[in-house]
Amino acid sequence: MYSHVGESLGISALVEGGDLYLRVGDTQVEIAAIWLRDSCPCPESRAVNGQKLFNIVDLPADTRVERARVVGRSLEVEFAPDGHRGVFDVEALIAADAPPRLADTRNEDAKRLWRFAEEASPTVWNDWSEYLVDPAAALRAVIDDGFALLRGVPTDSGQVVVVAETFGFVRKTNYGIIFDVRVEENPVNLAFTGLAISPHTDNPYRDPVPTLQLLHCIHNAATGGESGLVDGFAAAKMLREKNARAFDILTSTAVTFRFDSADAHLSATVPMIGLDQAGRIREIRFNNRSMVAPRLKSGTAREFYSAYRSFAELLYHPEAQLNFQLDAGDCLIFDNTRLLHARSAFAATGGRHLQGTYADLDGLLSTLHAFEEN
C-alpha cells in the first residue's frame, strides 16, 4: 500500500517499505532509500568539489525514507533512523534511472562500427593549425570511428608527444616515452624492420594495455610501407552474428600474451575479445607475434583454434582494411583497444621514419567533454 506524501506541478512522491516512488507525468521510478541517501547533495554530505564527506559505514544499515515532500521541482526527504535531511532535483532523479547503455563510451554501442574500409572512406584529414584551435572533431572521431588523422604537424623529433599532450597524458613503457619506427640492425620487435606487419593490437601483454597509440611521420621516402586499420569491434560483432559458438569461445578462453627482452618481461592473460558486464564488446587483444599457444586438451584445442581462425579470417579480409600513406607531417591517433593496425612491407632505401607514443582514452575523453560542453 503506497502512502501519498506530496504532489506539486504534476510531480508526486510516494513511500512504501521505506523506499521512494517518484512519479513525473507518466513516468514512475522506484528509488531505494540507501541509494538516495548515498546520493544526497547537501553540504553535510558533499564538499564544494562534489566529493563525498562520508563512507558507506557511516550510514545506518537500515536507512529508510521517513517522509518526503515535493516543493516545485525539488524533493525534500527526511531519512530514518538518523533524521538526515536532503533536497534533490526531481529531473536529476528521473534521469539517473535511465538505462546507462552509453554511460561507458568504451563499449560497442557507443561506437560507429565499420566492417569494410569503404564505410570509413574517404578518410578525413584534420589540419594541425585548425586542430589546435578546436580539436573536438578529431577527438570525437577517435571515440566514434576509432581513429583520427592530422596533417601538417611539424616534423620535429618528439612532436608526437606534443600531439598527445594536447588532449591527455603520455604513457611511458619499456620502449620509452617515444619509440622510433624505422629499420634497426638488431630489432627487438618486427615493427623495427621493413617487413609487412599483419593487423594487430599493440602491447596486449600489458595490464592495463595502452588504450591509445599515436604514430607521427617524420620522413618517408620509401617505396611501400602503407598503413592499415581494421575495426576489430565490427569483426567481433560479425563473428557473434555468424558463429556464436566461436564468439563464446574467444570471449571466455583466456590466452597469454608475452613479451621478453633484455630489460622487460611482460605478460597478461585475458580473452582475445573482452566484454563488459552486459555482454557488449569492449576490448580486442589480437597479436599473433606475442600470443603464447594455449595448452588445451585436444577437443578444446580444436574448438579454440577453429574459433581463432574464424576471427582472424574476418580481421584479415582485404576489404576490411582501410589503407593510407603517412607522409611527413602526418599523425595518426587511434584506439588500440578497438582497431588493429597493419603495415605493408617497404624497401629500406629512401628511408622511412615514424615516431610513436602511447596515451589513454580517459584523458582524451576528458578534453573532449570540456570542448563539447563549451
Q: What is the C-alpha to C-alpha distance for residues 212 and 366, in angstroms, rounded to an integer?
A: 14
Asked if the model's pLDDT at residue 313 lies above 70, the reply is: yes
The band of 195, judged by pLDDT with boundaries at 50, 70 and 90, is confident
Q: What is the C-alpha to C-alpha distance for residues 306 and 300, in angstroms, rounded to an integer?
A: 10
| Residue 321 φ then ψ, to 5° | -95, 125
Residues in Cβ contact with 269 at an 8 Å cutoff, skipping those fewer than 6 apart: 254, 255, 256, 257
Q: Are 144 and 233 in contact (CB under 8 A)?
A: no
My answer on whether omega of the bond before 43 falls inside 30° of 0, hence cis, is no
* 23: its cell numbers: 512519479
Q: Of 176-190, 215-229, 327-341, give the lowest mean pLDDT range.
A: 176-190
**What is each CA distance from 158 to 149, 168, 189, 216, in whole angstroms?**
18, 16, 21, 9
- What 3-state DSSP class applies to 315? helix
Report the candidate in 96, 98, 82, 99 with the shortest Cα–Cα distance to residue 39.
96
Per-residue confidence (pLDDT) for residue 1, from 0 to 100: 40
- Give the ranges where the chain is alpha helix by DSSP (H): 33-38, 90-96, 128-133, 136-144, 159-165, 232-242, 244-252, 298-315, 361-373
Sign, CA dihedral 334-357-210-247, equals positive
Q: Are 354 and 218 in contact (CB under 8 A)?
A: yes
Per-residue confidence (pLDDT) for residue 191, from 0 to 100: 65
Beta bridge partners of 179: 356
CA 322 to mean position of chain CA atoms: 21
* 102: its cell numbers: 552509453
Report the candidate in 9, 1, 3, 2 with the shortest Cα–Cα distance to residue 70.
9
Q: Of 1-5, 55-59, 143-147, give the lowest mean pLDDT range.
A: 1-5
The band of 192, judged by pLDDT with boundaries at 50, 70 and 90, is low
Q: What is the C-alpha to C-alpha distance for residues 25 and 43, in angstroms, rounded to an integer?
A: 30
Burial 286-311 (b: 16+ CB within 10 A, else e): bbeebbeeeeeeeeeeebbeebbebb
Report the candidate in 123, 112, 13 with the shortest Cα–Cα distance to residue 66.
13
Asked if the model's pLDDT at residue 122 lies above 90, the reply is: no
Q: What is the C-alpha to C-alpha distance for residues 197 and 345, in angstroms, rounded to an integer?
A: 7
Residues in Cβ contact with 61 at an 8 Å cutoff, skipping those fewer than 6 apart: none
Per-residue confidence (pLDDT) for residue 351, from 0 to 100: 84
Q: What is the pLDDT of residues 220-260, one digit of tens each?
A: 988 788 999 999 999 999 999 999 999 999 999 999 999 99
Per-residue confidence (pLDDT) for residue 34, from 0 to 100: 97
Q: What is the mean pLDDT of the chain?
A: 92
Q: Are 342 and 200 in contact (CB under 8 A)?
A: yes
The two beta strands, 265-270 and 255-260, are: antiparallel
- With 0-12 CB in 10 A as exposed, 13-18 as middle and 19+ as buried, what is 275? middle
pTM of the entire structure?
0.88
Max distance between CA atoms of the chain, in angstroms, equals 83
Q: Roughly what angle, to the nearest 10 degrees, separates helices 298-315 and 244-252?
A: 110
Q: What is the pLDDT of residues 66-89, one digit of tens each?
A: 999 999 899 999 999 999 999 999
**What mean pLDDT comes out for the span 201-212?**
97
**What mean pLDDT comes out for the span 126-138?**
98
Q: What is the pLDDT of residues 102-120, one digit of tens each?
A: 568 999 999 999 999 999 9
Residues in Cβ contact with 329 at an 8 Å cutoff, skipping those fewer than 6 apart: 128, 151, 152, 153, 154, 155, 217
**What mean pLDDT comes out for the span 310-338?**
97
Alpha-carbon radius of gyration of the chain: 26
Residue with cell string 578546436: 134
Per-residue confidence (pLDDT) for residue 188, from 0 to 100: 58
- What 3-state DSSP class applies to 118? helix
